[in-house]
């Protein structure tokens, strides 16, 4: 079955020597054989002395885990590789001490453990604290991979009870961590419980597994998800090199199950802060039926300052794409704030005050965003 237009040949990702194709394409094998330390990493790349030092120093602060699939996409010789920079600690991560653990005040917006309510009718429900791998720029560094944020079944029940008792909630985003780290049966149970709540109209899944471990998206998973429609999925590709043949197949399966697919990327220095790279990413996403939805301004978070790009640069990139590609291939450039998302466009930008950019949120509040230097 064709997955996209002729002439588009996403890279195959063959099993490495010594691993059967069956194992390589198995979710369980990938999870069990994840890169967790320097020795494992050296099987895939030649870490620079700085990276080797950073792995030792930083893995304790924020978990260091990479799936073999994603590790195989890294350039073994180039520390500037855009795949490698997303998951291998760098010395800059230790130097970036500015920033908050919880810049969006999610804890303040949490009526019950791991439920975040910023808007009246929507919640983000962090159903677990686990991901297939851990991205060095993660907004939820404070919780992903941390034991205290895991959700026992009893805690999931408490959150479901709160949703059932809150009739304004019509839209539930399952996030984490990553909800697709759950087994099919656990996810099926959770979706069934949510579907029993009459006021929950829409269920969205925020997952990076189509990018970081696409073999998780099996036909069985898609048949299960289909039973709970309307289900929407937002995934998270940041660079065209992530659009491989297995990732395309994962997106095809989800689309064939009638699931609308969107992409939420993060604008990051040296990874995708370039018009041609961003345009290529978005155009390839459209080819595989994934709509570029949001591109986030990276948050000021401890250990992530080196990824941040000035807002002016982001505005230039998205305005340069206008008129040069299909309108629906251009994501909305947004800033997440404790008042919700603010589109970074003329109507919400109020101006500057020193180094800060002032923006107006949906509720009329002004938010002051520290802007990184160029």
Give me the residues that bind ligand SF4 (CB under 6 A), please. 131, 134-135, 138, 140, 144, 176, 178, 208
CB closer to ligand SF4, 10 vs 176? 176
Find the shortest distance in angstroms from Cβ 176 to ligand SF4.
Answer: 6
Asked whether 259 and 232 are in contact (CB, 8 A), the reply is yes
CB closer to ligand SF4, 180 vs 357? 180
Query: How far is residue 336 from each of residues 83, 108, 128, 139, 236, measured CA to CA in Å?
Result: 24, 15, 21, 10, 16
Find the shortest distance in angstroms from Cβ 135 to ligand SF4.
Answer: 3
Find the shortest distance in angstroms from Cβ 178 to ligand SF4.
Answer: 6
> Whose structure tokens read 């479901």?
160
Find the shortest distance in angstroms from Cβ 204 to ligand SF4.
Answer: 14
Q: How far apart are CA 151 and CA 190, in angstroms?
A: 12
Give me the helix-helix angle, 153-164 and 184-195, nearest 10°: 20
Asked whether 163 and 203 are in contact (CB, 8 A), the reply is no
Find the shortest distance in angstroms from Cβ 324 to ligand SF4.
Answer: 29
Find the shortest distance in angstroms from Cβ 301 to ligand SF4.
Answer: 11
CB closer to ligand SF4, 135 vs 330? 135
Greatest extent of the chain over all pairs of C-alpha atoms, in Å:
59
Strand partners, 351: 358
Find the shortest distance in angstroms from Cβ 363 to ligand SF4.
Answer: 26
Say what the alpha-carbon torsion angle 304, 340, 120, 226 is, to the nearest 10 degrees.
-60
CB closer to ligand SF4, 140 vs 253? 140
Strand partners, 325: 322
Find the shortest distance in angstroms from Cβ 131 to ligand SF4.
Answer: 3
Asked whether 315 and 278 are in contact (CB, 8 A), the reply is no
CB closer to ligand SF4, 131 vs 359? 131
Question: 78: buried, middle or exposed (CB in 10 Å: 19+, 13-18, 0-12)?
Answer: middle
Q: How far apart are CA 54 and CA 87, in angstroms?
A: 12
Q: State the DSSP H helix or E strand holding residue 87, giving kind and residue range, or none if neither.
A: helix 84-87
CB closer to ligand SF4, 211 vs 288? 211
CB closer to ligand SF4, 40 vs 283? 40
Q: How many beta carbons lie within 10 A of that of residue 363, not counting itself?
A: 9
Find the shortest distance in angstroms from Cβ 272 to ligand SF4.
Answer: 14
CB closer to ligand SF4, 141 vs 197? 141
Instruction: Write out the DSSP string of 272-316.
Output: T-SHHHHHHHHHHHHHTTEEEEEEEEPP-BTT-GGG---HHHHHH
CB closer to ligand SF4, 211 vs 342? 211
């Amino acid at each position: 079955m064709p997955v996209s237009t002729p002439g588009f040949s996403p890279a195959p990702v063959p099993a490495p020597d010594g691993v059967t194709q069956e194992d390589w394409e198995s979710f369980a094998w990938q999870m069990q054989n994840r890169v967790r330390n320097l020795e494992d990493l050296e099987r895939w790349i030649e870490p620079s002395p700085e990276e080797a030092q950073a792995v030792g120093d930083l893995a304790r602060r924020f978990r260091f885990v990479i799936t073999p699939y994603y590790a195989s996409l890294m350039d073994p010789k180039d520390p500037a590789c855009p795949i490698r920079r997303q998951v291998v600690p760098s010395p800059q991560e230790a130097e970036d001490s500015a920033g908050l653990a919880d810049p969006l005040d999610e804890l303040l917006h949490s009526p019950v453990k791991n439920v975040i309510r910023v808007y009246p009718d929507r919640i983000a429900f962090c159903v677990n604290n686990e991901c297939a791998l851990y991205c060095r720029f993660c907004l939820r560094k404070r919780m992903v991979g941390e034991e205290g944020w895991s959700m026992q079944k009893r805690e999931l029940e408490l959150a479901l009870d709160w949703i059932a008792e809150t009739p304004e909630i019509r839209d539930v985003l399952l996030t984490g961590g990553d909800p697709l780290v759950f087994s099919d049966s656990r996810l099926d149970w959770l979706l069934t419980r949510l579907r029993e709540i009459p006021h929950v109209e829409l269920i969205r899944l925020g997952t990076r597994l189509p990018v970081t471990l696409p073999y998780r998206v099996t036909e069985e998973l898609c048949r299960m998800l289909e039973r709970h429609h309307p289900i929407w999925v937002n995934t998270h590709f940041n660079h065209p090199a992530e659009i491989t043949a297995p990732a395309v197949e994962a997106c095809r399966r989800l689309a064939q199950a009638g699931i609308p697919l969107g992409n939420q990327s993060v604008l990051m220095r040296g990874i995708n802060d370039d018009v041609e790279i961003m345009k290529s990413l978005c155009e390839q996403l459209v080819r595989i039926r994934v709509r570029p939805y949001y591109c986030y301004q990276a948050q000021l978070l401890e250990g992530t300052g080196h990824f941040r790009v000035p807002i002016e640069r982001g505005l230039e990139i998205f305005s340069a794409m206008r008129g040069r590609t299909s309108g629906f291939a251009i994501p909305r450039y947004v800033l997440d704030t404790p008042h919700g998302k603010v589109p970074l466009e003329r109507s919400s930008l109020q101006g500057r005050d020193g180094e800060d950019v002032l923006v107006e949120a949906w509720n009329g509040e002004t938010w002051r965003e520290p802007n990184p230097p160029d």
